[in-house]
Amino acid sequence: MKKRLLSLLLAAGCLGATALAVVLGGSASDPLISLNYLNGTYLTSVLHTAQEKIDQVGDEVYRGALDYLETAAASGGAAGSTASGTKGYLYADGFLEMRLKKGDIISGMTGMGVILWAGKLSVSFSGGALIDVTAGKTVPSGAELALQQRYLTGENAKPSFVVQSDTAVVSVDGYYTLKKSTQTDYNQLAAALQQMGLFKGKDLSIGSGYALEDKANRIEGLIMFLRMLGQEEAAISCKTTHPFTDVPAWCNGYVAYAYEKGYTTGVSKTAFGTYQEIGAKEYVTFLLRALGYRDADGEFRWDTSLEKAKAMGVITEGERKMLAEQPFYRAQMAYLSYYGLLAQRKAGDTLLAYLGAKGALYAAQVERIMSAVTSNRIL
């Protein structure tokens, strides 16, 4: 990839003769060196320096275009000739990251920048242009934005960016407005679980580390299950063994503990399936087990776990339909975990009451956290 970027950079003339000589190790008047010398000594530094140039040029192009648009808009020039002012707009000085949900709409004006980090985001506008600065091209109205690309709102354009996925992570720069939808707010539920200590996310620098846009996997499902039982600490300190050969050292305790307790038998005699995707039926199976129901005793089957959960009042008909028809992401895992706390266990109390009695959760803290949740449940 870096070699391709270097070729493009050189072809575009972004490195002059002097800069090229510096990169390759020669002089401005005699930049030629042997192939062995290039491959053996300078290739790594060439690519590194070229990448720095690419990043620098990209930043300069973006900031230069943005400065022009903002200056023109402020002075009433061509770029801002149809601007209606900034009243009613919010302003982000530098890219401001936010977590959004399906149906949320970001609108902007000339000079606004947008980066989509996760999820799906479409754009619509009736005039002007939206520029993909990273790719160096304009974007048509109705298109979906590409991930990790910088977009800049051109002159006379007032685009609307609509979140098409259940959740998304977006950064904006400049003047913008945000209209929130009434769709289920998976972000809010994940944040509530995080405050309770039940959802810790991934080691990511974007979106609070929630990774709600990722498909859920087996080890994530198992860890959430153990947290829902109030048994994570016991699992972390577990020193027993398991027969699986595909389990990384960091999660050995979780898998060994679950295997010893009979919570999981893996996908085969020697494989746990650590990073295999987990579906809604599999995760609801974990949830029903946390509520005290035993598929090992014939109380339900994993392949009909959604119907069992619906019959027991653990999930609603709307949730059953959604889980049966849509892909299962970490967003849905957080959703089920949050509302699973309110579900009635086989013993008669709720899972939340059970965890409170065990000292795994503090009732007053959980009540305060849940009282701030405004998201709609899928009925």
Q: Which of 6-10, 40-44, 48-52, 59-63 has the highest mean pLDDT?
A: 59-63
Question: What mean pLDDT comes out for the span 285-304?
Answer: 95
Domain count within the chain: 3
Contacts of 233 (CB under 8 A, 6+ apart): none
Phi and psi torsions of 256, nearest 5°? -65, -40
Looking at the predicted structure, is the pLDDT value of residue 7 above 50?
Answer: no
- Answer whether residue 377 is part of any domain: no
Look at residues 17, 47, 75 and tell me which one is the last residue of a structural domain: 75
Write down the pLDDT at residue 66: 54
Residues 97 and 71 in one domain: no
Residues 63 and 159 in one domain: no
pLDDT tens digits for range 67-124: 555 554 444 433 333 344 678 899 999 999 999 999 999 999 999 999 999 999 999 9
Write down the pLDDT at residue 52: 57
Provide the 10 A C-beta neighbour count for residue 4. 8
Residues 168 and 108 in one domain: yes
Nearest-angstrom CA–CA distance, 302 and 100: 33
Residues 242 and 279 in one domain: yes
Look at residues 179, 195, 215 and tell me which one is the last residue of a structural domain: 179
- Answer whether residue 84 is part of any domain: no
277 close to 307: Cβ distance less than 8 angstroms: no
Provide the 10 A C-beta neighbour count for residue 185. 25
127 close to 94: Cβ distance less than 8 angstroms: no
111 close to 70: Cβ distance less than 8 angstroms: yes
Question: What mean pLDDT comes out for the span 189-198?
Answer: 96
Residues 196 and 318 in one domain: yes
pLDDT, greater one: 302 or 18: 302
Weakest mean pLDDT among 6-10, 193-197, 237-241, 358-362: 6-10
Weakest mean pLDDT among 61-75, 121-135, 311-325: 61-75
Write down the pLDDT at residue 87: 84
Question: What mean pLDDT comes out for the span 186-199?
Answer: 96
Our measurement of the distance from residue 294's CA atom to the centroid of its chain's CA atoms, rounded to an integer in Å, reads 33
Tokens of 366: 């959980």
Residues 54 and 161 in one domain: no
Write down the pLDDT at residue 265: 87
Question: What mean pLDDT comes out for the span 313-329?
Answer: 97
- Answer whether residue 120 is part of any domain: yes
Question: What mean pLDDT comes out for the span 314-324?
Answer: 98
Residues 341 and 232 in one domain: yes
pLDDT tens digits for range 176-185: 999 999 999 9
pLDDT tens digits for range 345-373: 999 999 999 999 999 999 889 999 999 99
pLDDT tens digits for range 146-159: 999 999 999 888 99
- Answer whether residue 294 is part of any domain: yes
Residues 227 and 340 in one domain: yes
Looking at the predicted structure, is the pLDDT value of residue 278 above 60?
Answer: yes
Question: What mean pLDDT comes out for the span 23-38?
Answer: 34
CATH of the domain at 171: 2.60.120.1030
Cα pseudo-dihedral 363, 292, 318, 187, rounded to 10: 40
Looking at the predicted structure, is the pLDDT value of residue 344 above 90?
Answer: yes
Write down the pLDDT at residue 271: 97
Residues 21 and 99 in one domain: no
- Answer whether residue 34 is part of any domain: yes
Residues 21 and 121 in one domain: no
Question: What mean pLDDT comes out for the span 229-249?
Answer: 95
Look over the chain and give the mean of its residue pLDDT values, rounded to a whole number: 83
Nearest to 100 by CA among 201, 193, 208: 208
Phi and psi torsions of 20, nearest 5°? -65, -40
Write down the pLDDT at residue 63: 59
Residues 196 and 279 in one domain: yes
Domain that holds residue 280: 186-371
Answer positive or negative: Cα dihedral of 260, 261, 262, 266: negative
- Answer whether residue 55 is part of any domain: yes
Look at residues 26, 42, 75 and tell me which one is the last residue of a structural domain: 75
Residues 191 and 243 in one domain: yes
**Residue 199 confidence class, pLDDT cut points 50, 70, 90:** very high
Write down the pLDDT at residue 72: 46
pLDDT tens digits for range 64-77: 555 555 554 444 43
pTM for the model: 0.78
Looking at the predicted structure, is the pLDDT value of residue 12 above 70?
Answer: no
- Answer whether residue 81 is part of any domain: no
- Answer whether residue 378 is part of any domain: no
Question: What mean pLDDT comes out for the span 298-311?
Answer: 96
